[in-house]
């Protein structure tokens, strides 16, 4: 369970194996714990790492606004600290957005990007259904602080309602333990308010627009979209998956069965198999 100094704080990461780095990035409100059943099932001779984003999991909680740019800055520093080059990225939720952002800014250091249930393009309020719209509006207003900061409802609902099969009590405690206080939950609220809708927040929308250009133009970099079904909580449904196939260069798609938004909880082995097959097919761990 390595912990390393990064900028003015520390970052925790899980690590196993040697070779080409395969980095798994979690989203909100998760941690590296999300990947606990995926990493052992990936059958590749690779150095697999799963960090906790800054302010989350067992990473430090510096005095930070925890904007997208802050997470990217700490992630950059962690990658540099660990000497990561020729990286294969796997990202879920905001971890996918951070993976795209890092790859777009370091195209000479990335071999491939696999992603699931993440932000592939800016969105508009009109695209949201009634329930997602009400949720987004609540998160952006005063109710957001009550829902996220004043208790653990948001955290608990992610791993009881955002999955097809609620996680066990011990696993839920692992997810909850880094957030015992109101202040410790601020990174979670900031992520919940960061979904780019009609160009706001502007800083996040700009990042997404920028990495969207890389996704469309990087035909030399293989990409893998993992899709799922049978859940109303999915971020990437059939329509958006079609958009990805039409707008993202060098994209393969693999369907991994029924799952909720936090799909590694429901389908860890299917995800691991898909990543293993994709990496081997594109020879991404072959020295070049």
End-to-end CA separation in angstroms for the chain: 30
Mean pLDDT of 214-230: 96
* Whether pLDDT at 280 is above 80: yes
Mean pLDDT of 17-30: 97
pLDDT tier for residue 288 given thresholds of 50, 70 and 90: very low
Sheet of strand 9-16, all strands in order from the earlier edge strand to the far edge: 3-6, 9-16, 46-51, 20-25, 87-93, 110-118, 223-229, 251-258
Q: What is the DSSP letter of 59?
A: S
The one catalytic residue in 52, 70, 117, 265 is 117
Verify whether residue 156 is a known catalytic residue.
Answer: no
The dihedrals phi and psi of 79, each to the nearest 5 degrees, come to -60, -40
> What is the pLDDT, as a whole number, of residue 248?
98
Mean pLDDT of 215-235: 93
Mean pLDDT of 38-55: 98
> What is the pLDDT, as a whole number, of residue 1?
65
Each residue's pLDDT tens digit, 62-113: 999 999 999 999 999 999 999 999 999 999 999 999 999 999 999 999 999 9
| Helix or strand (DSSP H, E) at 266 | helix 263-266
The one catalytic residue in 14, 52, 70, 93 is 93
Q: pTM for the full model?
A: 0.97
> What is the pLDDT, as a whole number, of residue 131?
75
Question: What whole-number percentage of the chain has pLDDT above 90?
Answer: 89
Q: Is residue 276 a contact partner of residue 44, using CB atoms and an 8 Å limit?
A: yes
> What is the pLDDT, as a whole number, of residue 134?
85
Q: What angle do CA 37, 39, 43 make, to 5 degrees?
A: 120
- The more confident residue out of 203 and 127 is 203
Mean pLDDT of the chain: 95
Each residue's pLDDT tens digit, 124-183: 998 887 777 888 898 998 889 999 999 998 999 999 999 999 999 999 999 999 999 999
**Structural domains in the chain, sorted by start:** 3-281 (3.40.50.1820)
Mean pLDDT of 215-226: 98
Q: Report the alpha-carbon distance of residue 273 to residue 239 in Å, rounded.
A: 24
Q: Residues near 167 by Cβ (< 8 Å), separated by ≥ 6?
A: 159, 160, 175, 265
> What is the pLDDT, as a whole number, of residue 232?
78
Verify whether residue 287 is a known catalytic residue.
Answer: no
Q: Residues near 146 by Cβ (< 8 Å), separated by ≥ 6?
A: none
Mean pLDDT of 228-247: 91
Verify whether residue 117 is a known catalytic residue.
Answer: yes
């Amino acid at each position: 369970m390595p912990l390393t100094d990064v900028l003015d704080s520390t970052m925790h990461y899980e690590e196993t194996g040697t070779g080409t780095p395969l980095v798994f990035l979690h989203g909100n409100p998760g941690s590296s714990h999300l990947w606990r059943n995926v990493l052992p099932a990936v059958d590749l001779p690779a150095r697999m790492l799963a960090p906790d984003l800054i302010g989350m999991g067992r990473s430090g909680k510096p005095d930070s606004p925890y904007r997208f740019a802050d997470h990217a800055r700490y992630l950059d520093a962690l990658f540099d600290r660990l000497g990561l080059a020729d990286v294969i990225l796997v990202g879920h939720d905001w971890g996918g957005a951070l993976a795209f952002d890092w790859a777009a800014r370091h195209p000479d250091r990335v071999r491939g990007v696999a992603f699931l249930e993440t932000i592939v393009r800016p969105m508009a309020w009109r695209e949201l259904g009634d329930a997602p719209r009400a949720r987004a509006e609540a998160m952006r207003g005063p109710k957001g602080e009550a829902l996220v900061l004043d208790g653990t409802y948001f955290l608990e609902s992610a791993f009881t309602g955002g999955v097809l099969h609620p996680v066990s009590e011990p696993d839920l405690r692992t997810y909850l333990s880094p957030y015992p206080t109101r202040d410790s939950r601020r990174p979670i609220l900031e992520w919940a308010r960061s979904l780019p809708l009609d160009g706001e927040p502007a800083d996040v929308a700009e990042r997404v627009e920028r990495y969207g250009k890389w996704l469309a133009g990087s035909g030399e970099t293989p990409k893998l979209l993992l899709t799922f079904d049978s859940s109303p909580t999915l971020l990437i449904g059939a329509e958006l998956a079609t958009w990805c196939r039409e707008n993202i260069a060098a994209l393969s798609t693999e369907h991994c069965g029924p799952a909720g938004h936090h799909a590694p909880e429901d389908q860890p082995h299917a995800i691991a198999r898909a990543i293993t097959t994709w990496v081997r097919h594109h020879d991404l761990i072959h020295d070049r």
